[in-house]
Amino acid sequence: MDNLSSDNQERSFLSETLAAMTQFVVTHSKFSLGFALIVSIGCVLLTVFRLEFKTDRADLIDPTAAFHEKWINYTESFGSSSDLVCVVESESPESIKFVLRNLGQRIEQHPELFENPLYQINPGDLPSKGLQYLSPRQLQTGLNRLDEYGPIYRNGRWDLTQVDLLYDRLRYQIQSRSTSYRGTDSDQYLEPLFNHAAILSTSMSRFLADQSDFQSPWPSIVPVNERMRERSQEVIYLLNQSGTMGFLKVFPVHQENGFDGATNAIEKMRSIIGEVAAENPEAKISLTGIPVLENDEMRKSQADMINASIISCFGVGLLLFIGFRGFRHPILALIMLSAGMAWAFGYTTLTIGHLNILSVSFAVILIGLGIDFGIHYMSRYIELRHAGKELEPALLSTSRTVGTGIVTAALTTALAFYCAGFTPFLGIAELGFIGGGGILLCALATFIVLPALLSRADRNVEIKQMPTPFQGVWLQKIIMRFPRAVALCSLAVVAFCASQMIQKTDQGWSSRVVYDYNLLNLQAAGLESVEVQKRIFEDAQNSLLFAVSVADNPDEARALRKKFEALPTVHHVEELASRVPAHSSKDTNLLVQSFRAQLVHLPDEVPLVRRLNPSNIGRKLEQVYVLLSRYNHPTAQGTARLLDRFLNRFESMTLEDQSRFLDEFQYRTTASLLGQFKALRGASDSTPVRFTDLPRSLTSRFVSAEGKWLIQVYPRDHIWEIGPLEEFVKDVRAVDPDVTGTPLQNYEASQQIKLSYKTATVYALAVICVVLLIGYLSRRHAAMAIVPSTVLAVCTWFILFNRGTPISVETAIGMFLVMCIGVAFVLDRRSVSHMFLTMLPPVVGGVVMFGILAMTSINLNPANLIVLPLILGIGVDDGVHVVHDFRMKKGAYKTSPSTINAIVLTSLTSMIGFGSMMVATHRGLYSVGLVLVIGVACCLFISLVTLPALLTWISNRSQTTDSVSMDDGQNRSKKRQNRDRMEAEAAA
């Protein structure tokens, strides 16, 4: 009873202000409840009609950040949508093409949901202008080579294409040049002839082995690379190199409002895929892409959050009913929380005006933290009622005692969240600002709504009808009897967990707590869109992620392409500028016209030439074989061996088979040369290439309305992992400092998230320490500790800044905090020690949590990193209430039953609320629930075991010291009295 008496209660301006507020609320309970109801309804209506939702991940990033400004500039020119990617897998390339056409035709019927589908490329008029893609030098070289064939196409001497004459001409030219060019330089003049002999001989040998395998024996007149050959095809489909995987890309139309985003387009796409898959069972059709990954994550997390919320509500409600042994008081606490939540939503609407995909979770956070204030208030109120106090005095005493702890806990927790507002990541900054204000409003609801509700609900309730909450008597007894042993054992557990956080490696000491950057590891296991992305990377060496660079003109785009392709971390580059001639039409026009003019009179049919004599062919080949065998050139030696094998096989054939083979080969040889002439004539349109000649499916993607040219840079490695991503980002930025794209956004955002949470934690720790010092020190001592430290820290920072050696903000804060604590320690050691004791649950509990994470190999990630400010807030809340309970008592410390009950209930409600997310299939949400349950449990252990044991041990030592001092004083007083008596007797 003495621990609850008013004599032991610290009177202060704050406690008396809270008591006066409670007096007003209880006296005017109807007015207070009516006012709270009206404000709540107004906030709800304001939220319904004014609160907006932003679902784009780009909304989480500060638009003034340098890297994000590059992304904004890119999206303004080319749009912000990423592709939906349909993946068709089959053993038959023709089957894949058929399915892609079917999918594309059905998608094109829904322009309201899909934009710019790309599954095939129709080359249009480009093949007829193919020669314009060659340089003037290449064209001139081609004309010179073409002129060598002049007797054939100009004079109609197609008999010159006879194989025996070709070998005769090659033998004559080799002998002639060998005579003309002697010495070491002869190889460079003979090599073209050796190559022609090799091509001709290889063609004959392959055709003899397989009549369906014919390779043209004529060297190319003009150089034609693979890209030009690709353009000359009738239709190009998006297939992997092996032809087992095809792709269809399309932009989804996003919904402007709400959280639907691309949901409607994705749902329709899956419906179309289902229809086509049913009609083509031989092909496997899957859907992936960045919008699909984000949509699947959003929908999974929404479904999981609904399930978690239901479980959380039932679990928290059941726990409150069990903890308070009744229904009335838990319902009152939930009503108070509802009012605080309504006010928080109104505050969010008025200040920020919107929620993003991070800050939308603030409601769950407030449910876990906001209910704590009501639990602490009611626990002390019920304890006072059981101690014999009537309704109104109990409410006043509750506000006067535990109310100060609630205010301190609310301020420290809110400031911990507000510190996130100073971080660079906008999503976390907005969450911190909303969460901090929401916590303060829930604390305000505790002093306005809850006392009014209790004054109405318990007006006619007798003391014996009040519930008897859990009191933790056994825990009190153990700590009271063995405080030193309990403290040392719990600290040994802390030391063991701390030792598990680090490990020794060959490079030195390193942390065992790993931060996982891979966003795919947050998705639900076995998700189709994730598995398909992995298969695309493995089977097609392609990635959904690519960097983008923007060029002002085609020449710049081609130059950037070459630089990007030279990077070791780049797999391939896609752009449209290579489909535009690199040289001006003025430089190539006359040369291209020359090709057309020379090849204007080509025969429509393959000209007939005389039949070849097998014995004559054998003799000619034998002569070439003997000639080539004399040269040490590797091509000559290889061709000689090839001719030897050919002659051996040719001679083993019957005369009839030899004649049939030679007739067919001769016909194809003449036809292939005529075909090459016709291809050159067909590609000799000298009309300049226009932008409209390019395929629309590509121009709409790679060229903006302002004339900007896009370059897509695809990585060689799997850049969802941070190591390859860092190398890729470093390399592409070395080529173009303004490069942007999803990989760079992911990289910068992940760095900002990690830095933001660390910065917010450092700031919050400093602010909490200062607030606790202000709360524990007298006003005079607080001013003496804070004001000079602030002035000195600012002056030091200013002097260093002017000298050109600025220090970081974190260093300045640390310097201020050290000075502030040092001065406070000189003025009032007791208050400083209480501040450090209050910080034990969040700091030491955090150490235990990280030790457990290291031992169980649970990684931190961008989702569960929110545990840092939450654990800090929850731990400080517990520490504040325990230390306030300690400061209100005299003599040996014993934790109040109400404090034990409140901390147990608040911790368990938080564990149930956050732990309900462990039912989620979304691995990010699961990890948030798991880490928070571990963290809250660690704070609970430190708050109810380690901290009370230390406080009991300290109070016992202080009491022993006081007793010894009192005994010594009494003995000295008795001695002094005896001496005075003896002196008086002597004087008498």
Question: What value does the mean pLDDT take over residues 341-365?
Answer: 84
> What is the token pair recorded at 856?
């169980």
Sign of dihedral through CA atoms 521, 526, 528, 532? Answer: positive
Q: Rounded distance, CA 684 to CA 128, Å?
A: 6
CA nearest to 547, candidates 531, 563, 526, 533: 563
Q: Of 779, 852, 186, which Cα lies nearest the Cα of 493?
A: 852
pLDDT (tens digit, 9 = 90+) per residue, 501-528?
Answer: 888 777 777 888 888 888 778 777 777 7
Kindly give, in sequence order, each residue whose CB lies less than 8 Å from that of residue 547, ignoring residues fewer than 6 positions away.
Answer: 712, 713, 715, 728, 729, 732, 739, 740, 741, 743, 744
Q: Token pair 């004791």 is at which residue?
A: 837
Over residues 611-626, mean pLDDT: 89
Q: What is the pLDDT of residue 970?
A: 54
Report how far residue 912's alpha carbon sits from residue 900's, in angstroms, rounded to the nearest whole number: 18
> Which of helix, strand or coil describes residue 867?
helix
Model confidence pLDDT, tens digit, residues 937-971: 999 999 988 988 888 888 877 655 554 444 455 55
Compute the distance between CA of residue 964 and CA of residue 456 in angstroms, rounded to an integer.
51
Q: Please report the DSSP string for 697-729 in residue order.
A: HHHHHHB-TT--EEEEEEESS-TTSHHHHHHHH
d(CA 491, CA 226): 71
The residue among 725 and 873 whose pLDDT is bigger is 725
Structure-block tokens of residue 592: 């291209």
Q: What's the pLDDT at 234?
A: 53
Q: Which residues contact 467 (CB under 8 A, 6 or more apart)?
A: 324, 325, 326, 329, 382
- Whether the per-residue pLDDT at 410 is higher than 80: the answer is yes
Distances (CA, A) of 143 to 138, 155, 594, 595: 9, 17, 8, 7
Q: Which of 52-66, 78-92, 854-868 has the lowest mean pLDDT?
A: 52-66
Checking if the pLDDT of 835 tops 80, the result is yes
**Could you give the 3-state DSSP secondary structure of residue 503?**
strand
219 band by pLDDT with thresholds 50, 70 and 90: confident
Of residues 54 and 228, more confidence is placed in 54
Q: Is 115 helix (H, G, I), strand (E, B) or coil?
A: strand
Q: 115: which 2 tokens?
A: 């934009």
Structure tokens at 436: 């901090």
How many whole angstroms separate alpha carbon 150 and alpha carbon 147?
Answer: 5
Q: Above pLDDT 70, what percent of the chain?
A: 89
- Mean pLDDT of all residues in 79-84: 75
pTM reported for the whole predicted model: 0.72
Residue 780 has pLDDT above 90, yes or no: no
Specify the pairing of strand 52-54 against strand 354-356: parallel
Q: Is the pLDDT of residue 232 over 80?
A: no
Smallest CA-to-CA distance from 376 within 446, 471, 283 is with 446
Helix (H, G, I), strand (E, B) or coil at 466: coil
DSSP secondary structure, 251-317, as one string: EEPPPSSTT-TTHHHHHHHHHHHHHHHHH-TTSEEEEESHHHHHHHHHHHHHHHHHHHHHHHHHHHH
- Taking 3-state DSSP, the helix, strand and coil percentages for the chain, each rounded to the nearest 5, stand at 70, 5, 25
For the chain, what is the mean pLDDT?
Answer: 83
For the chain, the C-alpha Rg in angstroms (whole number) is: 42
Q: Phi, psi (5° rounding) for residue 89?
A: -120, 130
Residue 3 pLDDT exceeds 50: no
pLDDT of amino acid 465: 67
Burial (Cβ within 10 Å: 0-12, 13-18, ≥19) of residue 737:
exposed
Among 548, 533, 529, residue whose Cα is nearest residue 79: 548
Model confidence over 132-189: pLDDT tens digits? 878 888 889 889 889 888 888 888 889 888 998 889 888 888 888 887 776 556 667 7
**pLDDT at 5 exceeding the cut of 80:** no
**181 contacts: CB under 8 Å, gap ≥ 6:** 189, 190
Per-residue pLDDT reduced to its tens digit, 428-462: 788 888 988 999 999 999 999 999 999 988 887 77
The string of DSSP codes covering 578-638 is: GGS-SS-HHHHHHHHHHHHHHTSS--SSPPP-PPPPHHHHHHHHHHHHHHHHT---HHHHH
Q: Using alpha carbons, list the distances in angstroms from residue 138 to 141, 142, 588, 791.
A: 5, 6, 10, 76
Greater confidence, 188 or 664?
664
| Dihedrals phi, psi of 211, to nearest 5 degrees | -65, -15
- Residue 128: pLDDT over 60: yes
CA 153 – CA 372 distance, rounded (Å): 95
Picking from 286, 249, 230, the residue whose alpha carbon sits closest to that of residue 104 is 249
Instruction: Tell me what pLDDT residue 228 has.
Output: 47
Q: What is the pLDDT of residues 887-923, one digit of tens each?
A: 887 777 888 887 887 888 888 888 887 788 788 777 8
pLDDT of residue 227: 46
Q: Which residue is associated with the tokens 């994730």?
A: 530
Structure confidence at residue 706 (pLDDT): 84
- Residue 199 confidence (pLDDT): 92
Q: Encode pLDDT of 963-983 as tens digits.
A: 444 445 555 555 566 555 555
Euclidean distance between CA atoms 174 and 192, whole angstroms:
10
**In degrees, to the nearest 5, what angle opens at C-alpha 814 toward C-alphas 812 and 816?**
70
Helix, strand, or coil here: 73? helix
Rounded Cα gap, residues 614 and 618, in angstroms:
6
- Taking the C-alpha atoms of residue 500 and residue 490, their distance in angstroms, rounded to an integer, is 16
Classified as helix, coil or strand, 968 is helix
CB 775 within 8 A of CB 881: no
Alpha carbon distances (Å) from 28 to 329, 450, 460, 707, 888: 20, 13, 17, 70, 29
